């Protein structure tokens, strides 16, 4: 048996040297990972968890401060809602924005809806504008920048002619107004 082993070593000494070298390298890398990198990794994970907990605690407010902040924001929102008498001006602003965006306004329909819980009146507007895609997109961007409480409920784009760029945008808006004058 010993003679077979010595014969194998004599014929395959290069292969055995490579295998033993790789085995030694593997053992030394295992010792390096377990003695240096694992403790360092555990330390970094502990620091990360502590930072996450600190960040989570810093963003929390007590219930009283949170309620006060919410009440203040709600009052600012209520104060920014125009009165019902301003509907004609808001409608004029919508038409002026259409003109400045170079779109043509089609039909406009509106229906007032009473919101009794909040003493608000909402106007459900349906309108159609047409023009180039860039002009229609510009008009939509102008609506989003509007300082009034206007909500874009839905938008539908269509183009009936594939050779000519004339995009028609049908949209439904809601304009909120305060009860009053």
| Per-residue pLDDT reduced to its tens digit, 35-77 | 888 888 899 999 999 888 887 776 666 778 778 888 998 888 8
104-120 burial: b if 16+ Cβ within 10 Å, else e: ebeeeeeeeeeeeeeeb
pLDDT at 4: 79
pLDDT at 13: 79
**First-residue to last-residue Cα distance in the chain:** 111
Q: What is the mean pLDDT of each run of 10 residues along the chain (181 residues)?
A: 79 84 92 86 91 76 80 87 89 91 91 86 92 91 85 89 86 88 55
Q: What is the pTM for the complete model shown?
A: 0.59
Rg of the chain over Cα atoms, rounded to whole angstroms, equals 36
Q: Quick count: other Cβ atoms within 10 Å of Cβ 95?
A: 13
């Amino acid at each position: 048996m010993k003679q077979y082993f010595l014969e194998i070593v004599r014929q395959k000494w290069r292969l055995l040297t490579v295998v033993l070298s790789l085995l030694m390298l593997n053992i030394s890398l295992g010792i390096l990972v377990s003695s240096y990198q694992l403790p360092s990794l555990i330390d970094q994970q502990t620091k990360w968890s502590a930072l996450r907990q600190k960040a989570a605690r810093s963003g929390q407010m007590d219930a009283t401060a949170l309620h006060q902040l919410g009440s203040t924001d709600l009052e600012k929102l209520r104060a920014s809602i125009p009165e019902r008498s301003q509907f004609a001006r808001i409608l004029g602003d919508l038409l002026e924005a259409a003109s400045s965006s170079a779109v043509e306004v089609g039909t406009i329909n509106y229906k007032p809806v009473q919101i009794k819980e909040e003493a608000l009146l909402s106007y459900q507007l349906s309108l159609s504008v047409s023009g180039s895609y860039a002009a229609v997109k510009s008009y939509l961007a102008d609506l989003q920048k509007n300082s009034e409480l206007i909500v874009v409920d839905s938008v539908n784009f269509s183009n009936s002619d594939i050779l000519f760029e004339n995009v028609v945008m049908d949209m439904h808006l809601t304009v909120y107004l305060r009860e009053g004058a």
